[in-house]
Each structure stands twice: as C-alpha cells, then as structure tokens.
Structure 1
Amino acid sequence: MYGISRGYIIAALPRTGSFLLCDMLARLGSVGYPQEYGLPEDEATWSGHHGHASHLSYFYDFFRFCSTPNGVFGCKLMWSQFAGLRHDIRRYTRIDGQGLEPIEAMTGPIRLVFLDRRDTVMQAISLVRAMKTNIWSSHRTLPPPPLAYSGTAIADAIELIGENRRQWESFFARHAIDPLRLSYEDVAQGDLAALFPFLGVEAPDRPANATQLKRQADDQSRAWRDRFAIDNTA
C-alpha cells in the first residue's frame, strides 16, 4: 500500500518525549514521518489539523503521510490509539487478525519501539500540567497559566500511566513481541544508537537529535516532585 514495505510503531506512554522522538525522526526524511493516529472522536486531528472531510478518507491517507519515499512507515500511538487503529482497520477494510496482523496487512512487517520513562513521578507531574493547561509540547510559545499543586492529581496520573504500561506489557506478552525499549531520558539526550539497526535501516550520516522542541520540565515541576516526595514519605 502506497509503496510501503516495512514500518514501525512507537508504542508510547504519556509524557515520554514521543513528540520529541517523532520530530527527530521526521527531520531525517528516511525513516518515516511518524505521527499519532486520530481516532474518530478526535476530529481536531483528522479534520482540523489534516483537513479531511471524513474519518474514512483520513484513515487511508494516514498510511501515506506517515511514510517516506523509501517505503518506511512510522507512527506513534498511545495504547488507546493503537487499539483504535486495529479496530478501524477491521471496520474499514474487513481485515482481521491477531496481534499486529491487521496493521501489517496495511504496512508490511512492523516493529515496535516501546517508549517509557524512568522517573515516573516527573512523568506524572508532566501529565498533570499538560492536562490542566492543554499544552502538550514546546511548540506553544505563550507562557503556561499558573497552576496549584495537587498531590492527588499526581497520584492519579501515576495510576493512569501504570495502567497504560500494563496494557502494553500484556499485549507484548500475549503475542510474544520483544520491542526495542527506549526511555525519555535517553531520547532527551539524543541517544538513538540502538534504534536504526533495530528498524533495519541505515544509520543517518548526520546527527539524529536535531529538533526545535525543548524539555518542558522546569523549576515548578521539580518543586512539585520534591513536595510529592515529602508528602508520601512513610
């Protein structure tokens, strides 16, 4: 389909630098243009951002605009988007199957890159701030509105992240998938050395960490982390 011969999915957890990693890879121009999948209810993505009149036309176009001319497809999916894409493939094409089979029918062989974060508390704080401000990347130039600390919100975010992690790990185990595991901390340092051989593509002859995106953690994030640690000390 669309000349796609192979692909990869960045299986992401919230606030793990997935926008950052996608931006790095897209700038290389040879390893797909990884973007997230807009579910039918996410009209802001498939209509507002991509300009499609129907989700069906967006669905088919998704595989085209996430692929580079050399036949490499890439996308990044949260668990709900991954489950939704598999559902939409069955709904729109009648292609069924177990595990990655429905997606591979559209793209050829798929490899999974699991993107996690070692510091779960900072991950949860980042998620709380993003949900409260609706600022999900440093593309936003306006300063964020002031926020009040909430230990309960951070604890709830930790649980949400954990549930998403369990969903991915369960899927890997059920289908005997051994993903490449990357962490936010490594991606933020531009350490992608293991990625290219795993994907079966030639490593770029220029740095893979070129991006205009920046880390969003700041003094407020670190202050919340310290307060959360004190509040939860036994």
Structure 2
Amino acid sequence: MFKAYIICTTPRSGSTLLCKLLASAGTAGNPDSFYHKPQFMAEWATDWGISTDEGGSPEAFDRKYLAAAILAGRAGTEVFGMRLQYKYLNIVTKMLGQIFPGVASDASRFSRAFGDPLYIHLSRTDKVAQAVSLVRAEQSGLWHLNADGTDYERVSATGEVTYDFSRIHREVTTLAREDTAWSEWFAGQKIQPYGLSYETLADHPIDALQSVCRALGTTSPDVAYIIPELSKLSDSTNDEWIRRYKFDLDKLKVS
C-alpha cells in the first residue's frame, strides 16, 4: 500500500474531479494543490497559521509548510494526496531541496518528504479541447460547475468570451510541451507513473476512482454512496471553437 500519491497534471485535465473523488473515498486523503502560485501558497500558510518570517529562515518555513501540507493532504487518513501541475514542479523541488540538502534527485527528495509515492500522470489526449477549455475558463472566470449547474469555482466576475485562435494555439503548444516534460521528468527520475486520461476519468469517473484506489492499495470505496460532484463545462461553444481552430490551423498550414 502506498502512503502517498502525487497527481502530476496540467490545467483542464480533470484533476479537480479526481481530487474530489479521492477525497470522497474516505481512505485516500484530501489531495489539493499545496504547491502552486505564491499567492495561493501564502493563503494556505495563513490558513495553517504559518508566518513567512516564522523561524527566521526559509528552511524553517519550508519545513513547517511541508508538515502542514502533509497533515492537510492526509485529512485524518493514512494516505497523503497532492495535485501538482508541471509549471509548479520547480517550486516544490526547490523547497524540498532546502529541507533535504545533498539529496541526489527530485524523486529521492519526494520520497524523503512523503514516503515513496504513487505518481499518477493525469493527462488529456485531446489538446485542442483542453486548450479551448483553458482559454474559455480564463476569459469567463468560471472554472468548475457543481453537478446541479451552480458555480463551484469562479475566480472573477463573468467576462466576455470570444474565440481567439492565437491564444488557443499558444495553449495547445504549451500544454503539449508540459505533458511531454512530465514524461521526460518521469524517465529522468526512473519513475513508472500510473497513467490516467481525462477522457477515461470524465466518461467513467467511478471506475477511474476504483482503479486509482486499487493502484494505491487502499480500501475500495463504497461506490453506491459516491456521486461525482462536478459537471462538465464543455458545451456547443467549445465545439464551435474547436472546429474553428482546426479550420484556421489548416488554412495556416497551406498558406
């Protein structure tokens, strides 16, 4: 049985859904993005009662932050869970490097910090759909919906949503590069991750949850009492943007 897991992912790959499903299992902690943008981490630290100048050194803060993150990620269970986007990998490796100086590799530092974790590589096969979803979320401010259609995560007031080929293309390129970077990092660290696709998770969320729990070696949840709490945001607007992007990309290739 693994005592920890790290969901290695990129934006709009279904990680919020997977985190909520794993939390609902009751045996696999409460995974979240404990290492993320500095302002988000500052909010976590405040919630945990940790001051940025506490202890007088960055290492002292990093140690207290790690301990609090582990406590939150376990949520009273025996298993620690964490979500990590590739763009923030350098933040956690730098902080763990200060806590464990002289440790040879990223994987070794993760093992020292969390125990030998299961690495879950959650990726989305359709990068165009992923990029469209990301651009639309950034424009609208709405990132997730509850199953009943109400807002679950809205980071700003409703904004104007407009098709933008250049922006979508930039995100397609970035998302593909970050997924490749994860694969290269796994190879370089000699890690064999557990692979899970957004498409499988979105179409069969309960089956995906059970498969992850089996990979972890945790008690399988009673699925009769687990209902996915989030609803897909994708609609006809997403479909239209995907069609327009592919059409515009084809025109660009032949011009």
TM-score past 0.5 threshold: yes
Match of residue 157 from structure 1: 171
The SS at the match of 1:30 is coil
> What residue number does 1:217 align with?
234
| Residues 114 and 181 in structure 1, CA contact (< 8 A), matched pair in contact too | yes
Q: Structure 1 residues 89 and 99 mapped into 2: Cα distance closer, same or farther (>3 Å)?
A: closer
SS at match of 1:100: helix
- The 10-residue stretch of structure 1 (208-217 or 182-191) with the greater mean CA deviation from structure 2: 208-217
Q: For the Cα contact (< 8 Å) 1:37–1:85, is it kept in 2?
A: no
What amino acid maps onto 2:231 in structure 1?
K
Partner of 1:112: 119
Which sits farther off after the overlay, 117-126 or 209-218?
Answer: 209-218
For residues 185 and 59 of structure 1, what CA distance do their matches in structure 2 show?
32
Determine what percentage of the aligned residue pairs are the same residue: 24
* Range with greater deviation from structure 2 (209-218 or 122-131): 209-218
Structure 2 CA distance for partners of 1:50 and 1:130, relative to 1, 3 Å: farther
Q: Would the aligned equivalents of 2:45 and 2:51 in 1 still touch at CA under 8 Å?
A: no
RMSD: 2.4
Is contact 2:141–2:157 with CA below 8 Å preserved after alignment? no
Residue segments in structure 1 that go unaligned for 5+ positions in a row: none
Partner of 2:39: 43
Counterpart contact for 1:37–1:81, Cα < 8 Å: no
Alignment partner, residue 196 of structure 1: 213
Q: Tell me which stretches of 4 or more aligned residues in structure 1 moved more than 4 Å.
A: none
Q: How many Å apart are 1:176 and its aligned residue?
A: 2.2
Return the offset for 1:22: 0.2
The CA deviation string for residues 12-62 of structure 1, in whole angstroms up to 9 with x for no partner, is: 1111010111011111121111001234x5223432785244352433311
Q: Deviations over 1:144-173 (max 9, x none)?
A: 432111111111000110121121011111
Map 1:1-234; keep pairs closer than 5 Å: 6-39=3-36, 42-47=38-43, 51=47, 52-55=49-52, 56=61, 57-94=64-101, 96-138=103-145, 139-140=152-153, 144-189=158-203, 190=205, 191-192=207-208, 193-207=210-224, 210-233=227-250, 234=254
Aligned residues: 229
Shift of 1:210: 2.2
The Cα offsets for residues 104-163 of structure 1, whole Å up to 9 and x where unpaired, read as 112211111100112111100011122233433221479843211111111100011012
- What is the CA-CA distance between 1:98 and the residue it aligns to? 1.0
Given that residues 10 and 178 in structure 2 are in contact (C-alpha distance below 8 angstroms), is that contact kept between their aligned partners in structure 1? yes
